[in-house]
Amino acid sequence: MAFLSGLSAFPITPIDLDGRVDTAALKRLVARLCIAGVDSIGLLGSTGTYMYLSREERRRALDATIEEANGVPVVAGVGALRTDEAVRLAQDAKAAGAAAGLLAAVSYAPLTEDEVFEHFSTVARKSGLPIVIYDNPGTTHFRFTAVLVERLAQVPGIVAIKNPTEKAEEIASHLGQQRSATPKGFSIGYSGDWNAAQAMICGADTWYSVLAGILPDVCLRIVRAAQNGDAEEALRIDASLAPIWELFKRFSSLRTVYTMADLLGVCRAEPPRPILPLPPFAKEQVAHCLTLLEQDLA
């Protein structure tokens, strides 16, 4: 899965108050990513608020994105509470032309490792869509252990993992351990934007990025520098994004990028309720950060 490398950009999914996807606005977001040259597009991830959308609206988002992407690989979120629902969503994604599915251990009742293993194995087997493990304990409250990742990596059709990055100093050892426990060609990537530069410098395959969904160019510069062995340049650019990382941590990356999309004139949308948009004082901070970033990059 060569496309599961480099920068995977995760845009928001603009919707109205009734949960209907604004496909025109979504296409504008996707067009920015394609023009920038991202390696893949992560549609319907957590930033894409997939769990708030019906199956029909996910299909509409998929069709619009894949049409606009014009060959850029699309990794589509296929998570659901029930295994049968996740299978159908993965089948929809495959039929629409998605290159892979991003699957989280979504639950209401806490899940055991055996339950998660069966869930993932069933979706991979019945859908025929390559599956990326989505380890996102911040929202699912389930953490993939090293043993479970090793088991899942042996399942035909499970081809990659999207890891969280909590402590930059632990990435190198975590990556090394995961490399030794998974088959050759199994793609290992990280999210958590403020530590992603370090992950790419350490040799991760992919940065699954929230910020790249709205500001792909600067994120691509970090990725390309890391891929070229220029750690100093990657860290220099990453340092220029420190004010944005602080906003992400304070207000959440989701709320922040919705505000960025509005301030940049790409689309006017609000996150699905009950999530509220940022208050005016926070929007002013986001606008100030965008101004500083533009000046710094210039």
* The amino acid at 239: A
The fold for domain 6-230 equals: TIM Barrel (3.20.20)
pLDDT tens digits along 171-216: 999 999 999 999 999 999 999 999 999 999 999 999 999 999 999 9
What is the distance between the alpha carbons of residues 86 and 127, in angstroms, rounded to a whole number? 9
C-alpha closest to that of 133 among 125, 124, 141: 124
The annotation status of 65 as a binding-site residue, yes or no, is: no
Positions marked active-site: 134, 162
Q: What is the mean pLDDT of residues 158-169?
A: 94
Of 230, 102, 95, nearest in space to 160 by CA: 102
Q: What is the pLDDT of residues 247-297, one digit of tens each?
A: 999 999 999 999 999 999 999 999 999 999 999 999 999 999 999 888 776
pLDDT in tens, 104-129: 999 999 999 999 999 999 999 999 99
Please give the backbone phi and psi of residue 144, each rounded to the nearest 5 degrees, phi first. -75, 120
131 Rama class: left (phi>0) / alpha (psi -120 to 50) / beta: beta
Domain boundaries of the chain, sorted by first residue: 6-230
DSSP letters, 216-238, are: HHHHHHHHHHHHTT-HHHHHHHH
Q: How many CB atoms lie within 10 A of CB 240?
A: 16
